[in-house]
A = this chain, B = another copy of it.
């Protein structure tokens, strides 16, 4: 992930007519402002009539919507709209389309690649008041809700009904389901329940010109023509604004166990993973890891306690099943196997909710611990699973003393590494040593330079490391077809140069 430098941020905020220019030497920089119209008094009057009390122009109230969670990208939008209905979203976009006004759709604003905040003065279209559950069918487990429902609220709603959401992530307390779908969020349960491309059954989307696409099916199977909803999953609001989602939710497991284990090498961690898949099979719901450097940061900044003896690597394994006795037996057999074969050096197991939460927090709060480390360069890489830690070690050698910390954690089960490099403060020389090295490394192993975070503003120009130019050109054609004026989330996802 590329962090914009402070000088650029200042330009973002105050210089609208002159852009920053993106060049191969600086592909993470923001592009020049495109010639969109400005919000006029007439436009504001229209919004105020349409959304009385929900058209926000107070700069203080706009502040938190203009800056991303990492506080690395800041826009200068002067209007935040809070529609409650799909019809209102449609009217907003029709108005913006006719007047050539750029729009930045925003959910919980928890994205890590600058995709959810304006780059210049785009109108912010927030889904925060679109937070109603529409239907839930407790036979099929199909939930239909508005896009602005907070993930954790949906989780609580479903747990009361003996179901769970098929996705879970650290930002659950703030992120919106519409944002999750727009960014094809991965998270902690993907290993078990698959991606949103399979679990999302239907979407309602408002297109750039205000047309409403009602594809809110609640069917597990529907082969009547092209699966249009897939276009909007993971396209980061650049092709349409998702206003409602229907999603297939699994039954709440009757038994959940979490094991926290230590390994003395990554090779042993991988061997443990292979045993785990074989012996835990269908009850395995997560296999996550963090390295010793992550643990140090958790202890130092968040005062968390390592529950086992110090190890170079830590694993979080979760099982979720329908029979507590069977699950415990499987877990016990697995632990016995990996302990006696010395693959695992130490470990602890939790079956009780509070202890489970405490063990999970060791994995979930690494991102938070890193924010206390000065400045962090963040990368979200997919690789063949056996290569994921090689990148961390290689980067340590490559950077030497330039970096304060080079840490690795992530989703072993999905081949997804979160590589984070810290520094006391922003350091252009360090950045130049990291990029494009990290992307070249990833590309060489046919990995993805963005496994689950998306491209947003920060990574769009690195797309060619993971996608061939024919594919990027086709993406450009799709964008032009669905949003010919380019008003939806401009400067995001697509690179500056499509060739």
Contacts and interface: CB of A to CB of B under 8 A. Distances in A.
Contact of A222 (B227, B230, B382): B382
A322 B221 contact: no
Interface in A158-207: 183-184, 186, 190, 194-195, 197-199
A230 B139 CA distance: 28
A291 interface: no
A463 B322 contact: no
28 contacts: A139-B384, A139-B386, A140-B415, A184-B223, A186-B221, A195-B198, A197-B227, A197-B230, A212-B470, A213-B471, A214-B470, A219-B447, A221-B452, A223-B450, A223-B454, A224-B448, A224-B467, A225-B455, A225-B463, A225-B472, A226-B478, A230-B230, A253-B282, A280-B322, A281-B321, A281-B323, A282-B321, A326-B326
Contacts of A215: 467-468, 471
Interface string A444-473: 001111111111000100010011101110
A10 interface: no
B279 A322 contact: yes
A224 B139 contact: no
A428 B468 CA distance: 52
A233 interface: yes
Contacts of A382: 219-222
Nearest to A191: B220
Interface string A118-148: 0000000000000000000101100000000
Nearest to A283: B282
Contacts of A251: 277-278, 281
A481 B477 contact: yes
A489 interface: no
Contact of A449 (B224, B455, B467): B224
Interface of A: 137, 139-140, 183-184, 186, 190, 194-195, 197-199, 211-215, 217-228, 230-231, 233-235, 239, 251, 253-254, 274, 277-283, 320-323, 326, 329-330, 382-386, 411, 414-416, 446-455, 459, 463, 466-468, 470-472, 474-475, 477-478, 481-482, 493-494
Contacts of A214: 468, 470-471
Given A223-B183, A322-B278, A326-B323, A140 B474 contact: no
Contacts of A195: 198, 220-221
Contacts of A447: 219
A414 B221 contact: yes
Contact of A474 (B199, B213, B323): B213
Given A139-B386, A198-B198, 14 more contacts: A197-B198, A214-B468, A214-B470, A215-B468, A220-B415, A222-B448, A223-B234, A223-B453, A224-B450, A226-B475, A253-B282, A282-B321, A323-B329, A477-B481
A416 B197 contact: no
A375 B447 CA distance: 52
Contact of A451 (B221, B329, B446): B221
A247 to B, nearest CB: 13
Contact of A225 (B199, B218, B493): B493
A227 B223 contact: no
Residue among A194, A274, A416, A477 with max Cβ neighbours from chain B (10 Å) = A194
A228 B415 contact: no
A214 B472 CA distance: 11
Contacts of A140: 384-385, 415
A475 B228 contact: yes
A97 to B, nearest CB: 15
Nearest to A138: B274
Contacts of A220: 190, 195, 382, 414-416
Contact of A139 (B274, B329, B449): B274
B415 A219 contact: yes
3 nearest A-B residue pairs (beta carbon): A281-B322, A198-B198, A230-B230
A89 to B, nearest CB: 15
A114 B411 CA distance: 43
Contacts of A280: 322
Given A215-B467, A281-B323, A468-B214, A226 B234 contact: yes
